[in-house]
């Protein structure tokens, strides 16, 4: 996303799986930041605190100091906005995407930089907006390799009419606060995972107080990551006739025959609110992996080391929905609205046009027993791959903001 800090323009990655805003400093000498725009202190508005910050990711880290300056996002101008000024990055792959930082869109309680008197940019904007407009909406597109992807969208206080004229096609789900004293991430109870609408049994949640597994909607992750046992059950079900899916013994990643179309869905809600959100086969059968091109990487991989929930639903899921994220207001607690954007028939046609005829054995659904692992963190490499591809390779979005008659200027200290 394109926005301004201290009168300087930057591209940043939008991340619903974190809460902090940080920007590269012109004092940052990390070689991976060569050629990327960096922040130069303003003589009139910048303020630096003698307070360090450090953010550690499963792959890489960033360190620096806390600063204040004017931040502008569309028509919203936030005076004395707190953010992190990065003086050093490690193993974040920044030069590959030319983004100068990250704008976290999760709740302030999960932030490392903000505190009780200084809030995140999103929290400050929400504090200004009336109750009905305290939301943002995200649609991730499929046109990779473009500086601006016209099939992606980010909006605050309004829907992008290219994807939805109103909320009539959205299904709303309360955000879960399980495992925390207050809301921290955009989490939903996950009822089921399906193949061809047949439920795959899921493990009980490891998050205290949750009746269902907890899924975190995370634009900072490319793949879908879930408990190793459940992911094994999923791929063993796909592989019921063998030679369709396999576990690569070198990478420890699940792979699938490139021509095999798999119709998988994630299910939220119960009773009349139960709804399947189907994935495009190109997302389940993801990237070519191997010299012969016959095996592709699976879009669903195992990682039992996720600590914000049981599942991380990254771009592989989010490309298939238009999602609205509503903050707490005087009438309701936080909710997430989801509208499916993938039509199964159209998706199958697109998949077949791109992959050719299906020469692999036909797939019958047989739910196999779960496979137990002695080492629950064996697939940590999966998170590393998704972090590189999604978290810091974040897609640049078409940005919309609700237009105001005049610029909004607020000061926070």
Cα 191–Cα 196–Cα 197 angle in degrees, nearest 5: 35
Which residues contact residue 359 at a Cβ distance below 8 angstroms, ignoring those fewer than 6 apart? 259
**Alpha helices in 22-179, H assignment, sequence order:** 121-128
Cα 104–Cα 318–Cα 33 angle in degrees, nearest 5: 45
DSSP 226-251: E-HHHHHHHHHHHTTTSSSEEE-TTT
Which one is catalytic: 20, 69, 160, 218? 218
Which one is catalytic: 15, 283, 310, 315? 15
Catalytic annotation present for 375: no
Which two structure tokens, joined as six digits, stand for 21?
């805003």
Which two structure tokens, joined as six digits, stand for 235?
């791929």
User: What residue has token string 């990643």?
Assistant: 253
Catalytic annotation present for 343: no
Q: Could you give the CA distance from residue 34 to residue 18 in angstroms, rounded to a whole number?
A: 25
Task: Please state, in angstroms and as integers, the Cα–Cα distance from residue 412 to each residue in 256, 284, 321, following that order.
Answer: 51, 44, 34
Cα 106–Cα 385–Cα 301 angle in degrees, nearest 5: 85
Which residue from 308, 310, 311, 340 is spatially nearest to 323, judged by alpha carbons?
A: 340
Catalytic (active-site) positions: 15, 218
């Amino acid at each position: 996303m394109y926005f301004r800090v201290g009168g300087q323009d930057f591209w940043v990655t939008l991340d619903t799986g974190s809460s902090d805003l940080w920007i590269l400093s012109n004092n940052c000498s990390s070689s991976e930041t060569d050629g990327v725009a960096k922040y130069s202190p303003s003589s009139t508005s910048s303020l630096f605190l003698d307070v360090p910050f450090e953010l550690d990711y499963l792959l890489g880290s960033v360190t620096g100091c806390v600063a204040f300056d004017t931040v502008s996002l569309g028509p919203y101008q936030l005076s004395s906005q707190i953010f992190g000024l990065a003086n050093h990055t490690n193993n974040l792959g920044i030069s590959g995407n030319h983004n100068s930082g990250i704008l976290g869109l999760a709740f302030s309680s999960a932030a490392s930089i903000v505190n009780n008197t200084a809030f995140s940019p999103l929290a400050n904007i929400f504090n200004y907006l009336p109750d009905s407009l305290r939301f943002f909406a995200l649609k991730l597109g499929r046109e990779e390799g473009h500086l601006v992807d016209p099939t992606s969208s980010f909006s605050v206080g309004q829907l992008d009419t290219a994807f939805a004229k109103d909320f009539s096609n959205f299904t709303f789900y309360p955000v879960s606060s399980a495992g925390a004293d207050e809301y921290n991430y955009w989490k939903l109870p996950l009822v089921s995972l399906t193949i061809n609408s047949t439920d795959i049994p899921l493990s009980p949640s490891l998050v205290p107080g949750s009746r269902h597994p907890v899924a975190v909607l995370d634009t900072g992750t490319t793949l879908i990551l879930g408990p190793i046992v459940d992911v094994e059950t999923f791929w063993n079900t796909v592989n019921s006739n063998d030679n369709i899916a396999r576990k690569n013994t070198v990478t420890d990643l699940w792979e699938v025959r490139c021509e095999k179309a798999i119709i998988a869905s994630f299910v939220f809600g119960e009773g009349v609110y139960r709804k399947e959100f189907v994935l495009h086969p190109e997302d389940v059968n993801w990237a070519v992996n191997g010299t012969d091109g016959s095996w592709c990487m699976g879009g669903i991989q195992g990682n039992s080391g996720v600590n914000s929930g049981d599942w991380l639903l990254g771009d592989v899921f989010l490309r298939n929905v238009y999602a609205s994220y509503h903050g707490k207001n005087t009438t309701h607690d936080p909710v997430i609205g989801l509208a499916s954007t993938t039509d199964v028939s159209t998706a199958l046609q697109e998949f077949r046009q791109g992959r050719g005829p299906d020469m692999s054995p036909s797939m019958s659904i047989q739910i196999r027993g779960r496979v137990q692992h002695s080492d629950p963190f064996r697939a940590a490499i999966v998170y590393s791959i998704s972090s590189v591809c999604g978290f810091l390779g974040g897609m640049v979005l078409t940005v919309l903001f609700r237009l105001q008659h005049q610029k909004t200027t607020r000061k926070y200290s």
